[in-house]
Amino acid sequence: MKTSVANRDRRVAPGSSEVPKRTSLEADRELAHIQAVVPAVSASTSASLPMSAGYWRARLRDLRIGYALLPVQLAQLSALERCVEEIERRAKAIVPVDERRVA
């Protein structure tokens, strides 16, 4: 029995070893979830991200690489990246670093 895989991104040439990117429509769900979490945390003065900033940066990077995003989605993604950086910067400013600690 022969199976076929749908090519979701027409920009990938048939027969190419490159993995097709997921569509911008599929990215909307991911963007909506991240936009629900990250800006809500950013608005709070005492909250921190429910996962590490590295986790959210990786999720955003995967969106940028794995999806065929529209310009408006790229703008949303860039805004979210700045938001994560700001939350991380604030968290580092609040938590004092004890330089006497040895790893």
Q: pLDDT at position 65, please?
A: 93
What is the tally of structural domains in the chain? 1
99 within some domain: no
Which residues of the chain fall below pLDDT 50? 1-10
Distance between CA atoms of residues 66 and 23, nearest Å: 9
72 within some domain: yes
Q: pLDDT at position 14, please?
A: 52
32 within some domain: yes
80 within some domain: yes
Q: pLDDT at position 37, please?
A: 85
14 within some domain: no
Q: Reduced to 3 states, what is the DSSP secondary structure of residue 22?
A: strand
5 within some domain: no
Residues 6+ apart with CB under 8 A from 20: 7, 8, 9, 12
88 within some domain: yes
CB-based burial label for 8 (10 Å; 0-12, 13-18, 19+): middle
Distance between CA atoms of residues 23 and 57, nearest Å: 20
Domain that includes residue 60, residue range: 24-94
Q: pLDDT at position 95, please?
A: 57
69 within some domain: yes
Q: Which of 79, 85, 43 has the alpha carbon at shortest distance from 64?
A: 79
